[in-house]
Each structure stands twice: as structure tokens, then as C-alpha cells.
Amino acid sequence: MRKLFIAGLLAAALLPVQTMAQSAFDGTWKGVVSSAKMPTKPDVFLLQNGTYECRTCVPVINIKADGDDQSVAGNPYFDTMAIKIVDDHTVQQTGKKSGKVVFTSTRTVDPDGKTERFEFSDSTASTSPVTGKGTMTRVAAAPAGSHAISGSWRTSQMENVSDNGTTFSYKVEGDSLAMTTPAGQSYTAKLDGTDAPFNGDPGITSVSVRTLGKSTLEETDRRDGKVIAVTSSKVAGDGKTMAVTIHDKLHGTTWSYVATKQ
């Protein structure tokens, strides 16, 4: 959830200096949680025989589900994860980095097995926890004998996401754009597509931005030189809303949302 709006807000800041100074982009914007159109590609989980798998995670997670911290390799956000089975329909998840808790979630499947409800607190890329909740809809049944959270799920709704996870500000200074968020992300990048360091998110090491037409922008996020996301943003004629589409290259998904100027 940490990325629910960050990727889009970065892409919104890419017009040339002279255009930016005359536009309504400068200032503070906030993503509208209810406007989010989540990926159609489902997430796939399996909790069975004391083992938890997240088959669509990158990298794939496969650990013991005994409530204890288990090592997770290759993830920039956490290095251990604990899966605690509360009951036949509820699971608690805790992620840590260097022994510090950076992520918690509780996932509960309705008695009919068709809907999963989750709540989370995420500080993997934030100086203060980003919190929220949502629902997932089952799109494929769980294997026989597995826990209720198993199977294929599609996120259908997000709600009550804290402001520090949906709000961003930026300012044009000379030929560069400075971006900041309450969660602690920031960068200063030239508006000519030059790669620049990204601060405050261990999963994004650099960012580049360029203009595609008068009101459409493209932002490319990279991790150690590899493209992980490409985001396009288009500002409405009245300057009050911004339509953002995120192409997640790691997971092969696309989703979108609308941000409003505050």
C-alpha cells in the first residue's frame, strides 16, 4: 500500500520549467482513494501444511507459517516475515527489517469464502506508518485442505488510507523539480529525462521524468538501473485534477487513480 499513490504523484511533476511555472501543478495534491482502479491481475497465495506462499510476490515468498520470524531474501523492504494463523479464516502478517517492525497486516476471509478484508500499517518506505484497509474478491478457489486465504484474489476496494500515504507536494526551482511527501520520500530531478536519485524508498533508487505533449507526463522508476514502473499523468484543463496510470513492470500490472489539488 506504501505505493498506492507515491508512483503516480512522482509522474505528475514533469513539465518543462517554463510550462510548470505557468501551470496549476505547483503545490499540494492528494490522491482520491475511492477513485483507484486496482489491477485486474490477481494475487495468488497458498497457506497449507504449515507453509505460506505468495506466488505473485517479487521475489516469491515461501516460508514457514509458525508465527516466528522467517528470513526473506531479495526484498528491499523487509528481511524477515512472520505468518501467524489466528483461526481458519484469519492470518496476521509481520514484516521486519534489521529487527524493526516495518509492516503489519491482518487478513480475514468472510464465512462464505468470497471476500477477504484486510487492515495494514506500513512504514517500509515511510518515516511514519501509512495505514489503511480494504477488501479483496476471490477469483479462484483455494486448493482442497488449504487455509481460507489461499487461492487467487483481486483487490476490489481501498479505504481509510492515511493522509501521509496519499498526499504530495512539489516545486519547480530553475530547471529542476523538487518533490516531497509527508511519508518522507523526496527527489530533485531535472525536467529533461535525466536520471536522478530517489530518496526515502529502499525499493526505488532513481527516477527520470519527461514530457509527452502539453499536459501528459511520463515518469520512470528504476531499482539499481532496472525499470520497475512507468507512470503517465495527465492534468485536466481546469488544473484541479490529475489522472494517473501506473504500469508496474515488476508485477506485470496496471492501475490508476485521480488526484485533486488541495
pTM: 0.85
Mean pLDDT of the region 182-211: 91
Q: What is the pLDDT of residue 213?
A: 67
Q: How many residues in total does the chain contain?
A: 262
Residue with the bigger pLDDT between 26 and 158: it is 158
Note whether 63 and 48 are within 8 A (CB).
Answer: no
Ranked by mean pLDDT, which of 12-21, 97-106, 165-174 comes out on top? Answer: 97-106
pLDDT, average across residues 137-161: 96
Q: Give me the pLDDT at residue 24, please.
A: 44
The least confident of 4-18, 43-57, 214-228 is 4-18
Cα–Cα distance measured from residue 81 to residue 116, given in angstroms and rounded to the nearest whole number: 20
61 CB contacts (<8 Å, ≥6 apart)?
A: 52, 53, 54, 72, 75, 81
User: Residue 190's pLDDT band (boundaries 50, 70, 90)?
Assistant: confident
Residue 14 pLDDT? 36
Dist. CA 187–CA 221, nearest whole Å? 12
**What's the pLDDT tens digit per position in 55-82?**
999 999 999 999 999 999 999 999 999 9
